[in-house]
Each structure stands twice: as C-alpha cells, then as structure tokens.
Amino acid sequence: MTSQKRNIILLAVVAVVVIAGIVLVLLLNNGNDNGNSVTTGINVEDQGGSDSANGAKDEGAKDEGASNSSGNNAGNNNNQSSSNNNAKSDDVKEEEKKEEPAPAQQQEPEKKDEPAPAQQEPEKKDEPAPQAPAASVQIDSLLPNPSFEDPSNLIWVSRGGPKVEITSEEAHSGSYSLKTSGRTKTWEGPIVHVTDILEKGKTYYVSIYLKYNGPSDAQTFNLQFETDSAAGVQYPTVKSQEVKRGEWTLIEGEYTIPEDLTRYSIYVEVPWKADDQITESDIVDFYIDDIVVKLVN
C-alpha cells in the first residue's frame, strides 16, 4: 500500500511539473511572438537591402535567411523568431569575424613590409660605404686612389706573377687595401708606374702602410723605385723596414728622381734571395694601404 501511494504521488507530481512546463513554454512563445514582430520586420528589411553595399554582410543573412524562409512558410513562429535571432546574432558575429581577419590581413603585409626596410638599410649602408670612407679618408697624395677606397680605380699592377687586387679583407684606413698574393720570388709584388705623375729632378716623400699575417713573427719589406735610363734598369731602395706580423707598419722615405731617367715606378718587395734560399715568409701575401707621395722640393 505504501509503495503504491508513493508511486501515485510521484506520478502526480511529475504530471503537474510537465503541465506547468508546457504552460510556461506556451506563455513564453506568445511573449516572443509579440516582441519579435518588429525584429522580424527589421530582419526582412536587412535581407531585402542585401543588394546594396553590404555584400559580405548579406551573404550571411541570406544563408541564415534560407532556413528562416522555410520556417516562415511553415508558420512556425517559434523557429522563425529563434532563427531570426540566430541570424541577427550570426550577422553580428560574422561582422565581427570579418572585421577580425581584416586587420589580421593588414598586419601580415606590414610584417612583410618590415623585412623590406630592414633589407634596405644594409643596402643603404652598402651604398655609402665605398663613398663614406673615400670622403672620410683624406690622404694627401699625388697618387690617385691612395687608400684604395675606389675599388674600380686600380692603377697598381703585378710585378712578376703575383695577383694584385683591391680587397676589403684588410684596411689601414677606410674599407679597402691592396692585396698581393701568390708570390713565388722575393722581388715579386705590386708596382705603380709614376713616370707621368712625378717630375724628374724633384725630391719626393713616399710612404706606405704594410701588413701581413704570417707565417713568421717578422719579415723585412723594401719600398723601392725601379728606374730605366740609358745606363739600364736600376732598383734604388727608398726604405727597408722590418714589419711584425699582423701590425700595420709605416714604411717611409725620400727619393730624388734623376734627370736622365726615361721611366720610373714605385714598388714593394722582400729583400732579394736566390730561389733555393727562399723561405715561406719571403713569399708571404701582404697588404698595403694609404700610399702617400708628396713633393719635398
């Protein structure tokens, strides 16, 4: 008896709750119908206005509108109102979504643009680089391009077989110097012909900076003239100078150009040795920079 009564009471309670729920739903539906009549009109207008500017916006409205129209045809106000609300909220969401990617796309090109100026900066640095040192390196010299800062203006040539080139590997001033490599004889090195630059009978101050990077701790280099006359070719030494490895070293002296010369040049070498006595240090690569040639008197 007791369990049967409990069951009946439980069923009754459930029935009351279900009925109350149905009544509540019906009441809420009536309220929504009244409240949404204006909203529905607005949504219809929004969909109707979809031809104009807001194309993207309208696509979302049309997508949602497809289900809306079926809901309207069925006369299911409940579905219509909820789907209209969904459509409206989806419109807003889509607007938000469309606004979100927009700046994201704008940011991407900006990010792409960022490396561009970053690449331009080194280019800018590269462009003035040959000019800025040329302007900042002031060498008072009768020789053109005395600090080799204009890599396109090379008047020095090879004496013998070594390679002579302007390089940025080392520089006493500015960014460039003159490199001599691949020497096989003590007398091989860089030479510049100055017959058309310096006058006979005049005394000149001549100096260079020289650097080498091994193999010995010190090596002697000669700053020389090579002269030609009726008496033959001669090799007067302006200055013989010991240079320590890895240190730019000044080699300087004076030389008076004899009146009887027909040709004269300035060059750099290592003191002469017979071929069977040449050491690795005697044929070392070396760099020269800041070649000063000035008239003394």
Chain residues that interact with Ca ion, rule: CB under 5 A: 147-148, 171, 173-174, 176, 289
Output 171 or 270, the one with its CB closest to Ca ion: 171
Q: Which residue is nearest to Ca ion (CB)?
A: 147
> Please, what is the minimum distance in Å from the beta carbon of residue 101 to Ca ion?
54
Q: How crowded is residue 103: how many other Cβ atoms within 10 Å of its Cβ?
A: 10
The count of C-alpha atoms lying within 13 angstroms of the C-alpha of 182, restricted to the half-sphere facing its C-beta, is: 8
Output 261 or 288, the one with its CB closest to Ca ion: 288
> Please, what is the minimum distance in Å from the beta carbon of residue 262 to Ca ion?
32
Q: Are 218 and 249 in contact (CB under 8 A)?
A: no
Residue (of 141, 182, 149) closest to 168 by Cα position: 149
Q: How crowded is residue 75: how many other Cβ atoms within 10 Å of its Cβ?
A: 8
CA dist 69 and 52 (Å) reads 21
> Please, what is the minimum distance in Å from the beta carbon of residue 241 to Ca ion?
19
> Please, what is the minimum distance in Å from the beta carbon of residue 174 to Ca ion?
4
Output 148 or 212, the one with its CB closest to Ca ion: 148
Output 147 or 180, the one with its CB closest to Ca ion: 147
> Please, what is the minimum distance in Å from the beta carbon of residue 232 to Ca ion?
35
Output 64 or 290, the one with its CB closest to Ca ion: 290
CA dist 83 and 77 (Å) reads 10
Residue (of 179, 182, 198) closest to 190 by Cα position: 179
| Mode of pairing for the β-strands spanning 163-167 and 189-193 | unpaired
